[in-house]
A and B are shown apart, each in its own frame.
Chain A
Amino acid sequence: MVGHFTFEKVTKSFGPLRAVDGVTLDIPKGQIFSLLGPSGCGKTTLLRLAAGFETPESGRVLLNGKDITALPPEKRPVNTVFQNYALFPHLTVRENIGFGLRIAKQSSAVIQYETDAMLDLIQLRDRAEQKPATLSGGQKQRVAIARALINKPDVLLLDEPLAALDLKLRQHMLAELRNLHELAGITFLYVTHDQTEAMSLSHQIAVMNQGAVAQLGTPAELYSAPKSRFVASFIGDANFMAGKMGSGEFAGSTQVEVDGLGLVTLQSGGGCTPNARVELLIRPEHTQLVRKSESGSDLPNHFDATIEDVIFQGAHIRWVVRVAGLSFLVERTSNQPDSDWCAGDSVVVHLPPDALLLLPQEAGSNGSDV
């Protein structure tokens, strides 16, 4: 199991820019593994290094323990689904799908059989003899995937494959991709800047920032235990509070003196030195609103607040809430009772101690981020 597809201390620069900076990643066989990050974080460069379109200036790329760093793209048992599909406009759908087999000098009978199977799989049999220009975006996408899968690669590389599709189609294609992954049973390396796509598709995600892996984990791990402000804000929404560690422990919990708010108690977070600068994080759906009459702001982790804005999102309602100098985002499913707060209402915000996360403060980050 060790080392199916591995990046080993891979570094790649373009001029003065370090696109990929000493990345080491091990992608287990058969997984859907996502590289997630903002544009310019190096995820596409990493994918191009995997495909062989770029060569690293240091480090190695390994496939099944074999060093493939120096192999040109045509010699690597990996195939790519390009963001713009890159279908050959002068060839029909069938010829596009069969391109790899034709290059590999397969007999025309084999090519016919295999392309038929692929056309059935992507349900485009009736479009087989048409040119790609006549297809819709989703159909082109499916042809691009079929054209890659027909070569039975060890790893399928997908470069933002759904970026050009509209929301409905994207959701549909996500389900289809998962289906295809199950059928093909091969490793998917999936590059995206869309956290929803990565979360709903992947077994593991490497969140990338500035050419390096910020955090590696399952979607649930990344959401519930982000290790940095960057990961926390990139995956889902979060309320941040800058503060200072309180001195010592208090009945098994830690206290943090939040700037502009006061003492906040949390359950986790031992190990930080007293008085160290830290940052607290709470997800909007864990932040609670309480009616002013039911609860006083003198209880621990309860603060007087004013509703600033209401955002109705169908299944969810969100409130922007001002607490002293800080702004909080609160989310609730809209079928819950007590969801009729309006802008201007006075409420109490409750921050449950078990929902608060402690992050070491990074340089340059300050205040709340909603």
Chain B
Amino acid sequence: MPEVEPHRKAKTSEEWLVTLPSLVWLGLFFLVPTVVILILGFKPADLTGGVAHGWTLANFRSLVSVEYAELFWRTVWITGLTSFLCVVIALPAGYAMARASKRWRNMLLLLVAVPFWTNFLIRIFAWKTLLQVDGPVSAFLEWSSLFEEAPTLLYNNWAVLVVMVYTQLPFAILPIYAAAEKFDFSLLEAARDLGASKRTAFLQVFVPGISRGISAAAMMVFVAALGMYVIPDLVGGVDGEMIGNKIVQRVQGDRNLPVASALAAALLLLVSGLTFGGLKAAFRREQS
């Protein structure tokens, strides 16, 4: 379409102009620091906490160890499980919100957003209070006689998981709700009409129908949770740390920026690798 081309070009240059401020912002505050971190990863550390001259692969080589392998594996499974649980909880929540009346829908959306009005750290400390020994949750568990003596709820991987799911849940609910709101619910009636139970219709028609929203939710939670360090730091145990904690230790404890940078670079690689793989899989599924 030759006669469309000039018009499109004019529009593109205009678009560039509009996008320029954001691009400059992203370049200065995102791209440059990322590149700096990558460069630092290849620099030797000096003993005073600075960066020495020359280049080295020692920082990356130091990551190849059983200790780091365990750390990466724990980070991935806690994050993966968090994403999975968030999606599983967000699915019925998003469904219910999309089916609610307009008034209720706005109310529920507001309720999802309410936690953001309170500082992240304060909410985590609230969880510490809830989960502490003789706290409300253990009191309830003992009262309900499910447990004779409530297990330790704090300072382990499960505490990390619970608080992670709690903090990430809105990021799963919102994309799933957005997809569910556009879903044609008469398809569920069609499925029931063809003999599917409510559950089957939900799993075989609703869930595939909003697969984009589910991918988006899983990805958002996964990427945001992968670099988390405050939660493992505050509610996790000694063996509950994730990559984020290690990076903080290397920076603040060891004052070894190059190793911290190498770790950060490895985390970045992990995130982009998994995100790219996820996107590709989602794209392939949509194509078929």
Chain A interface residues toward B at CB < 8 A: 51-53, 72-74, 78-80, 82, 84, 86-90, 99-100, 103-104, 147-148, 151
Pairwise interchain contact B197-A86, C-beta atoms closer than 8 A: no
Known: A86-B184, A88-B205, A90-B211. A147 touches B189 (CB 8 A): no
> How far, in angstroms, from A147 to B195 measured CA to CA in the complex?
12
Pairwise interchain contact B194-A103, C-beta atoms closer than 8 A: yes
Nearest-neighbor residue (CB-CB) of B200 within chain A:
A103
Pairwise interchain contact A104-B189, C-beta atoms closer than 8 A: no
Of A74, A79, A90, A103, the contact of B208 (CB 8 Å cutoff): A90
Q: Which 8 A-B pairs have the closest CB atoms?
A: A86-B190, A100-B194, A73-B192, A90-B208, A103-B195, A80-B193, A86-B186, A74-B195
Known: A88-B205, A90-B208, A103-B200. A79 touches B194 (CB 8 A): yes
B227 at the interface (CB under 8 A from A): no
Of A53, A89, A151, the contact of B189 (CB 8 Å cutoff): A53
Which residues of chain B are within 8 angstroms of A52 by Cβ–Cβ distance? Answer: 192-193
Pairwise interchain contact A147-B186, C-beta atoms closer than 8 A: no
> How far, in angstroms, from A103 to B187 measured CA to CA in the complex?
15
Known: A88-B205, A90-B209. A103 touches B190 (CB 8 A): no
Q: Which of B94-135 contact A (CB under 8 A)?
A: none
> How far, in angstroms, from A3 to B191 measured CA to CA in the complex?
28
Pairwise interchain contact A74-B187, C-beta atoms closer than 8 A: no
CB distance from B23 to the nearest CB of A (A): 35
Which residues of chain B are within 8 angstroms of A86 by Cβ–Cβ distance? Answer: 184, 186-187, 189-190
Of A74, A79, A84, the contact of B196 (CB 8 Å cutoff): A74
Nearest-neighbor residue (CB-CB) of A86 within chain B:
B190
Which residues of chain A are within 8 angstroms of B191 by Cβ–Cβ distance? Answer: 88, 99, 103
Q: List 19 A-B contacts (CB under 8 A).
A: A52-B192, A73-B189, A73-B193, A74-B195, A80-B193, A86-B190, A87-B190, A88-B205, A88-B209, A89-B209, A90-B209, A99-B196, A100-B194, A103-B191, A103-B196, A103-B200, A104-B195, A148-B193, A151-B194
Which residues of chain B are within 8 angstroms of A84 by Cβ–Cβ distance? Answer: 184, 186
> How far, in angstroms, from A21 to B200 measured CA to CA in the complex?
34
Known: A53-B189, A86-B184, A88-B187. A99 touches B209 (CB 8 A): no
Interface string of B32-72 (1 = CB under 8 A from A): 00000000000000000000000000000000000000000
Pairwise interchain contact A88-B190, C-beta atoms closer than 8 A: yes
CB distance from A216 to the nearest CB of B (A): 26
Interface-central residue, B189, B190, B191, by most chain A CB under 10 Å: B190
Q: How many residues of B contact A (CB 8 A)?
A: 17
Interface-central residue, B184, B194, B196, by most chain A CB under 10 Å: B194
Known: A53-B189, A86-B187. A99 touches B208 (CB 8 A): no
Chain B interface residues toward A at CB < 8 A: 184, 186-187, 189-197, 200, 205, 208-209, 211
Of A72, A82, A90, A151, the contact of B190 (CB 8 Å cutoff): A82
CB distance from B274 to the nearest CB of A (A): 24
> How far, in angstroms, from A84 to B187 measured CA to CA in the complex?
10
> How far, in angstroms, from A52 to B192 measured CA to CA in the complex?
9
Which residues of chain A are within 8 angstroms of B186 by Cβ–Cβ distance? Answer: 82, 84, 86
Of B192, B195, B200, the contact of A151 (CB 8 Å cutoff): B195
Which residues of chain A are within 8 angstroms of B205 by Cβ–Cβ distance? Answer: 88
Nearest-neighbor residue (CB-CB) of A104 within chain B:
B195
Which residues of chain B are within 8 angstroms of A151 by Cβ–Cβ distance? Answer: 194-195
Which residues of chain A are within 8 angstroms of B190 by Cβ–Cβ distance? Answer: 80, 82, 86-88
Nearest-neighbor residue (CB-CB) of B208 within chain A:
A90
> How far, in angstroms, from A79 to B196 measured CA to CA in the complex?
12
> How far, in angstroms, from A86 to B196 measured CA to CA in the complex?
15
Of A74, A104, A147, the contact of B192 (CB 8 Å cutoff): A74
Nearest-neighbor residue (CB-CB) of B196 within chain A:
A103
Which residues of chain A are within 8 angstroms of B209 by Cβ–Cβ distance? Answer: 88-90
Which residues of chain B are within 8 angstroms of A80 by Cβ–Cβ distance? Answer: 189-190, 193
> How far, in angstroms, from A151 to B211 measured CA to CA in the complex?
28
Nearest-neighbor residue (CB-CB) of B190 within chain A:
A86
> How far, in angstroms, from A89 to B195 measured CA to CA in the complex?
18
Nearest-neighbor residue (CB-CB) of B211 within chain A:
A90
Pairwise interchain contact A147-B211, C-beta atoms closer than 8 A: no
Of A53, A89, A90, A147, the contact of B194 (CB 8 Å cutoff): A147
Nearest-neighbor residue (CB-CB) of A91 within chain B:
B208
Of A51, A89, A90, the contact of B193 (CB 8 Å cutoff): A51
Nearest-neighbor residue (CB-CB) of B186 within chain A:
A86
> How far, in angstroms, from A72 to B194 measured CA to CA in the complex?
11
> How far, in angstroms, from A51 to B208 measured CA to CA in the complex?
25
Which residues of chain A are within 8 angstroms of B211 by Cβ–Cβ distance? Answer: 90
Pairwise interchain contact B184-A72, C-beta atoms closer than 8 A: no
> How far, in angstroms, from A73 to B194 measured CA to CA in the complex?
8
CB distance from B189 to the nearest CB of A (A): 6
Which residues of chain B are within 8 angstroms of A100 by Cβ–Cβ distance? Answer: 194-195
Interface-central residue, B184, B187, B192, by most chain A CB under 10 Å: B192
Nearest-neighbor residue (CB-CB) of A90 within chain B:
B208
